[in-house]
Structure formats: structure tokens, C-alpha cells
A and B are shown apart, each in its own frame.
Chain A
């Protein structure tokens, strides 16, 4: 299974930079998620990997060999488009056998491949159905089987779950990942859904404006984001602006109204403008202890495992928190609470050049 490397790849559409000197390495057998908002260049990246789009400059290597200009059919990389692109005139079986038929596989081998694929995606009973007779989930699985049957060793998935219902999406996450992993495929999965990326990926590459902002394990990008954008995109955050008082293993930041708050380690200089990001799930509300801020509970929303609480803090605005749902009975609207967090789980960044608003834009 190939190791894939992109080196300084650029692709422009008029003034739009869909890929801007982008470099990325995908390991042999790895499940990599490319995560980013709409228009970030995710699909372009996938198309360059598949050979459907030629980059303006830069190189694509498969196992060290330069394959930048290789035809799509010569790369052993199958693409699963957002809409699955099942061939409408062919049945499930015929769709799955598309790749083997092209390669001129013998009848016996074709039968074997078909049976094992149908079995793998649990569609044996629907093998003679046409795509339009299938439910969304079945179409998705047929497309997956078709890609696998083509004998590819790289799987390119373009938002494979987008067209499905929210609840079904959650159920199918593990299924796709397990399939790819059990066959040892190198998989590149494009998505805009941060939960999906966290659950499915070995590593996540966060992309914006055609550049990779950060690559790392789910743990890395969630806990140690390298920019306010990444922090916010991989999970909602509360943001606080201020000036750095001191840094080191704990960074102290002074907010505009004089209150001082704490965040994890940094090498920022004292006096520098900074932003502190605290994940909603790491924001704690307490009635017993003193916190960084005090405010009034504005609203509480029950969300299942968590409750979403908005706290209004004078001069700061609304701070939100996700608390375990058993706390619901102990919080009422109008209650006075203190807001605090574990300093090590808060991140601090220098103030972004274009301003925080611009940095956090998710569209």
C-alpha cells in the first residue's frame, strides 16, 4: 500500500487559490481526514491525488515515484464522490463488477470477488437491485464495494456521509473506517464535519484557503491546536482577548477589564496581544469556588449527554459551557455562577493579524 506525498502543490481557478503551495504526506495504510470548511480546497486536493485535476505546479508522489501527470486509471486510487455516482443503468452486482470487468478478470474470479464484496457490505440480498431502488445507506455501501472491487490500494472519499441522515451518519462512521483498516488501504477522507474526523481519522489535516494549517492525531488537533481557527473549528470555543502578563508552563493573560485569566504553556512575550481559547466542554461552571469570571445563567438547553449553558458575564458577553446532563437540575436560569477552567486545557495564541473575527470565520 502506497505512501503518498504532495509537494508544493498549487492550483488556481482565476483568482481563487484552491491549493496554495500545499505539502502533505500520507502514510502507508493510514486513515487521514482532510477537514475544512466549504471552499477550503478539500475536493481539489482529492482530485489532484486522483489525477482528475492536474496541478498548476508542484508534484505528487506515490511510493516515491513522481506520478503528477499519471492518468487517473493508472494510480490504483478509487474515488467515492459525494453523490456516490453509482451507474444508474447497472445493478448493484454490475456496479461492483465494473472495475473487474474493465481489467478483463476471468468469470470465476469475478464471481468470487462479487460474492465476497456483497458479503462485506451486507448487500447480498439486494444484488439485483438498481441504484434508485436503494436507500441512501445502501447506495453508499455499494459505492464502497465497487471501489474496493476495483483492486485499488488507495481510497479517496469525498464527504462520503454528507448525503445521509444525521443519525445514520454516526452509525456508518465505524463501519467505513473498519472496512478500510481491515483491508489495509491508504485512505484519504474529505469532510467538513469535525466530529466525523475525530472519530474516524488516524490523523487529521485541517485545510483552509488551499493550505494545510495543521496535521496531527485527533488528540493533537483537539488539545493542541496551532491557531484560533483550528481550536474553534475542531470544537466550539469561548474566546478571550487580552495582553500577556507572563508566560512559561502557564500563560497569564490580562483581559481589557483588568481580570487575569490563565492558559497552557506558551512562549509569548509579556505585553503581547493574545487570544485565549477554551473549549465549551472544558469550561466549568461552579457555585462553590471562585473562577475567572462571575455571571448569571441565561439559558440551559438539554442536549442528551450534555447540557448547553449560556452564562452572561458583565462587560464580557456570553460564555457557553457544555456540562454533564445530571447538572441540569442544579442550575436554574438567573443563578449566579463562576466560570473557570483547567489552565492546562486552555490554549493561548498571539492575536491573529486580520483580527479574531476574520480568523474564526467558518465559511
Chain B
């Protein structure tokens, strides 16, 4: 009998002992996984079951009505075309920027770092308006400032420009994250072997980059495919948008009409299914394809590549990356401020807006709380069990709600819970569940990522020093991941605050702040909409500053 055992024997069982028992731990783990499956995954993809249960109505309401079918195909094709073009643009301009951020040291780097993140702070609804008045030809009633560029007349072009703005930071962030993980020694080694900077980057770093590139691409595609509010606003603001629709906007539009026209249920289901299936297929194909494709990296042209590595070429490349950031990302994001300065102020009716804002805050707050309480244990389970099959499977599954366009997710979730008595009619609960579904993965991803970086030997050592699992978490792991939990929480909060698509798809008459702004624009109340946007920007910006502050502290 060891000394510690003897000590333990004389003691009565406490609550700590109870929750430290193997049986309790297994029970808690099962609960967490069940929650994830029932409240997150199943509702997200539930609509797919429609194919089996109600194929006949899809047959009659979609396939047999060419005009509906036409609208659906046009919208879906437009959505994917936009998403793909946006992603390609982001890669081309994001890669040099990521390179600057990771491999270069210069004064003012932290300011550039902040600038790149700025668009993230602007809710997409506000971005939609801001971009539209900057780029597009707008009708007179909008009163766009005289100095706006105002030359875009194609809705397709405008939406691309809009989506680039908010997906660009995601691409730069994920590319920098991968680049940071690639040991710079490889490039240095290449150079000691006689390769110029360009050659070393092209033949060594880029091939290693591929796996991570997929993450960036998927994030970008998903964000673009999901975006609803901003797109709706941009289309409503510009002149001659005509009948142009994307997948998510059509869901929002039809969902609003559903109560008067129940025949739209089948087309709605069909659009959602298409969006979900194509997104998931794209994800799988990308993962498989990118690893298979061999880059044509064999041949080297030492003279040319040497020229590319020196003198004015790298400077030109870096310069263009920064110019792009300003012209295509930053100015369009904040153009809205100039609008309220130069446009004549209209009568403002703030009451409804404040109500909507408070409503949004309450929802975001509850959603974030649920995400943390149930997401952190899930993150721990995934991160600490990554050598086992089941956690690995969950790790993949947790990404699904991130990839599925939120409008489709919202509609699917609505259908899932409609059948459950008592819940199906509670708008507030439904909105919260929809927001949990797409923000939960954000928290899990963030925390799991942080935990994976922490050597398990810290907790293990704590255990061998006599700490029970809960104590080891509380005293050792928690202080190390606190900042990441907070970061995940703030991300979830701001995403929930800015979300339009999922909200509209689950409850078309919801009264959240972004939905309110969309409605203002549709009612031609541009000035009030712009003011509301600015308030939303300021609130979100405060949160982003908080986020940067905590993540900064984490790296210190």
C-alpha cells in the first residue's frame, strides 16, 4: 500500500471524487456527443431526408415547373460561380499578403495585421450596402456620394466584389497559419543548396502548402456560398439588379412567401438540398484532388528565378498586394461612413432598431453560452483523442455546419424541429438553435486547435502529481486555453450578431438587427439603414478589439 493510497482511504467521497469516477466521465462524454449529434449535425442535414420522404412533391413542384426549375438552376449556378471566382481571386492576392505577414519583419507590421482583420468586424449586411454604394451604379433615391466609383452595372460583378471583401481576411489568415507551421529551415536549407529565394519557395514551401491551402479554399467557398444579408442588401441598393438571385437569397425570399404559398416548400427543400450536397461534395473532392495533383515543379530556370528573387520584382509584388488590400477590401468596407457624412439626413426612427439590436444581443449571448458549455468539452474530447477513430470522425463531422450554407442550414433546421411539438412554434428558440448550429463549430475548432498545440504531458504530469482529471483541467489546462475559449466565444458572438441567412430561413419574420437592416433597405430607408449599419460596425469593432486583445495576450 503506497502512502498516497493510505491517505485516500480515510477520506469520505466528495463531489470531486464522484465526477472523477470513470463512470461519470463516460456518461458526460456521451451526453456531449449526443448533444452535438442531435442539436447540431442532424438538424443541419435533416433536409436531405426530404428526398426520401417527399420526392413526389419535388417532382411536381420543381421538375414539372420549368420556370421554378430555371430560377433554381440560375441561382445555384450563380452562387457557385461567384464562390469559385472569389476564392481564386483571394488565393492570388492573399498568398503574397500572407507571405509578407509571416516571413517579413518591418515596422508597422502590427498595423497591417489589424487592417487585414478590419473587414471581419463589419457585419456583412453593412458591407453589402457599403460596397454597393462604392462600386455600383445606384438609383437616385439612394443618394450615393458623388465621389463613389459607381461604374458597376452587373449584379454578378458586384456580388463578386462584395464577397472578396469579407472572404479575403479568412484566406489571408488561413494561409498565414499554414505558412507559419512550415519550418523556415526548409527554405534556408534550399538556399544553402544553391536555390534562389523564389526557387526555394516554389519547389519546397509551395508543395508543402497544399494540404493547408484546402482549408483556406473551403473557408472561402463556404463563406461566399453562405452569405445572405449583404448580398440581399447589395442587390436591393444597386440599380438594375433585375431578377438576379443567389442560392441563399432565394431561400430567404421564398421562405417569406411560404406562409401564403405552401407550394414553395418543395422548391425550398430542393434548393437547400442542392446547396448542402454540392458543398459537401466540393469539400470531399477538394480534399482528395489537391493532394493528388502534382505541381509542375521539376524544371528550374536559375537565371530567371534569380531575377524574380531580387531587386524590384519582390517589391512590386508586395506593393500590389498592399494596394489591392486598400482598393478592393478596405475602402469598400468603410465607404459607408462617407455616405452618412454627405447624404442628407432623413427622419430617423430609432426605437425599432434598438429593440432589434437588443434582441440580437440576447440571442448572441445565449448562443455563445451554449457553445462554450457544450463546445469546450467536445473540443477536449476531439483534441485529446485524435489518435482514436471516433474522435477523428467527429473532428471531420464538426466541420459540416461550417461548410453548409447557413440559409440552407436554417431551412433544414426549421423543418427538423417543426415536427417536434412545442419547439416548432417557438421562434426565439428556433433562432437560437439555428445560430448554435453554425457557431458551435467555431468554438470547437478554436479550442480544439489550441488544446492540440498544448503538450498533453502537462495534464499527464499533473495527474501523476495527484490531481484528479477535473483538477488537472481546472488548474493546468484551463489557464493555458482560457484565451482561446474567449476568442472562440467572441467569434461565435459576432457571427451570431451579423447572421441574416439562417435567421431568415428559420423564421422569416425574425426581428434581429441584420434582418431589420435588410428590411429598411427594401423599404428604401437608406439613411436609417446606413446609420444602423454604423452602429452595428462600432459594436462589432469593440468586440473585435477585445478579441485581438485576448489573442495578443495568448501569444505573449
Q: Which residues of A contact B (CB under 8 A)?
A: 2, 50-52, 62-63, 65, 71-83, 85, 87-89, 98-99, 102-103, 146-147, 150-154, 156
Q: Are B465 and A76 in contact (CB under 8 A)?
A: no
List of A residues within 8 angstroms of B460 by Cβ:
50, 52, 72, 79, 81, 85
Q: Are B457 and A85 in contact (CB under 8 A)?
A: yes
Selected A-B contacts with CB under 8 Å, 13 pairs: A52-B463, A73-B465, A75-B4, A79-B461, A81-B457, A85-B455, A87-B458, A87-B475, A89-B480, A102-B467, A147-B464, A152-B464, A152-B466
Q: Are B464 and A156 in contact (CB under 8 A)?
A: yes
Q: Which residues of chain B (1-35) have a CB below 8 Å from chain A?
A: 1-5, 7-8, 20
Most central of A51, A77, A79, A154 by chain B CB within 10 Å: A79
Q: Are A98 and B462 in contact (CB under 8 A)?
A: yes
CB distance from B522 to the nearest CB of A (A): 52
20 additional A-B residue pairs with CB within 8 Å, beyond A76-B3, A79-B464, A98-B475: A50-B463, A52-B463, A71-B463, A72-B460, A72-B463, A73-B4, A75-B4, A78-B464, A79-B461, A81-B460, A85-B457, A85-B458, A87-B475, A89-B480, A98-B462, A102-B467, A103-B7, A151-B4, A152-B4, A152-B466
CB distance from A96 to the nearest CB of B (A): 10
B187-218 toward A: CB 8 Å interface, digit per residue (1/0)? 00000000000000000000000000000000
List of B residues within 8 angstroms of A156 by Cβ:
464
List of B residues within 8 angstroms of A79 by Cβ:
460-461, 464
Cα A88 to Cα B468 with chains together (Å):
20
Given A79-B460, A85-B455, A102-B471, A150-B8 contact (CB < 8 Å): no
Interchain residue pairs A-B with the least CB separation, the first 5 = A76-B2, A76-B4, A72-B463, A81-B457, A79-B464
List of A residues within 8 angstroms of B457 by Cβ:
81-83, 85
Q: B476 interface residue, CB < 8 Å from A?
A: yes
CB distance from A62 to the nearest CB of B (A): 6
List of B residues within 8 angstroms of A80 by Cβ:
461
CB distance from A262 to the nearest CB of B (A): 50
Q: Are A99 and B2 in contact (CB under 8 A)?
A: no
Q: Are A74 and B479 in contact (CB under 8 A)?
A: no
Cα A41 to Cα B466 with chains together (Å):
25
CB distance from A71 to the nearest CB of B (A): 7
Q: Are B1 and A99 in contact (CB under 8 A)?
A: no
Q: Are A83 and B455 in contact (CB under 8 A)?
A: yes
List of B residues within 8 angstroms of A146 by Cβ:
465
Given A83-B455, A151-B3, A88-B464 contact (CB < 8 Å): no
Which single member of A71, A88, A103 contacts B480 (CB below 8 Å)? Answer: A88
Given A85-B458, A103-B7, A73-B464 contact (CB < 8 Å): yes
Closest to B477 in A: A87
CB distance from B10 to the nearest CB of A (A): 13
Q: Are B461 and A85 in contact (CB under 8 A)?
A: yes
Closest to B7 in A: A103
Q: Are A151 and B466 in contact (CB under 8 A)?
A: yes
Which single member of A65, A74, A81, A151 contacts B461 (CB below 8 Å)? Answer: A81
B441-471 toward A: CB 8 Å interface, digit per residue (1/0)? 0000000000000010110111111111001
List of A residues within 8 angstroms of B463 by Cβ:
50-52, 71-73
Closest to A99 in B: B465
B409-432 toward A: CB 8 Å interface, digit per residue (1/0)? 000000000000000000000000
Cα A88 to Cα B467 with chains together (Å):
17
Q: Are B475 and A73 in contact (CB under 8 A)?
A: no
Q: Are A73 and B1 in contact (CB under 8 A)?
A: no
List of A residues within 8 angstroms of B20 by Cβ:
71
List of B residues within 8 angstroms of A98 by Cβ:
462, 465, 467, 475
Which single member of B5, B458, B467 contacts A76 (CB below 8 Å)? Answer: B5
CB distance from A43 to the nearest CB of B (A): 10
Cα A284 to Cα B463 with chains together (Å):
52
Closest to A65 in B: B1
CB distance from A91 to the nearest CB of B (A): 13
Q: Are B466 and A153 in contact (CB under 8 A)?
A: no
Q: Are B2 and A78 in contact (CB under 8 A)?
A: no
Most central of B455, B460, B464, B466 by chain A CB within 10 Å: B464
CB distance from B81 to the nearest CB of A (A): 44
CB distance from B419 to the nearest CB of A (A): 43
Cα A80 to Cα B438 with chains together (Å):
41
Closest to B463 in A: A72
Q: Are A72 and B5 in contact (CB under 8 A)?
A: no
Cα A47 to Cα B475 with chains together (Å):
22
List of B residues within 8 angstroms of A150 by Cβ:
464-466
List of A residues within 8 angstroms of B458 by Cβ:
85, 87
Cα A153 to Cα B471 with chains together (Å):
21
List of B residues within 8 angstroms of A153 by Cβ:
2-4
List of B residues within 8 angstroms of A77 by Cβ:
464
Given A74-B8, A85-B461, A89-B479, A102-B466 contact (CB < 8 Å): yes
Cα A50 to Cα B1 with chains together (Å):
15
B171-188 toward A: CB 8 Å interface, digit per residue (1/0)? 000000000000000000
Cα A63 to Cα B5 with chains together (Å):
12
Q: Are A78 and B3 in contact (CB under 8 A)?
A: no
List of B residues within 8 angstroms of A102 by Cβ:
465-467, 471, 475
Q: Are A50 and B464 in contact (CB under 8 A)?
A: yes
Q: Are B464 and A52 in contact (CB under 8 A)?
A: yes
Q: Are A75 and B2 in contact (CB under 8 A)?
A: yes
CB distance from B44 to the nearest CB of A (A): 33
Cα A199 to Cα B468 with chains together (Å):
36
CB distance from A313 to the nearest CB of B (A): 39
CB distance from B104 to the nearest CB of A (A): 26
Cα A247 to Cα B475 with chains together (Å):
64
List of B residues within 8 angstroms of A89 by Cβ:
479-480
Q: Are A73 and B466 in contact (CB under 8 A)?
A: yes
CB distance from B18 to the nearest CB of A (A): 14
List of B residues within 8 angstroms of A50 by Cβ:
460, 463-464
Cα A74 to Cα B466 with chains together (Å):
7
List of B residues within 8 angstroms of A76 by Cβ:
2-5
Cα A99 to Cα B471 with chains together (Å):
11
Cα A82 to Cα B456 with chains together (Å):
12
CB distance from A274 to the nearest CB of B (A): 44
CB distance from A301 to the nearest CB of B (A): 28
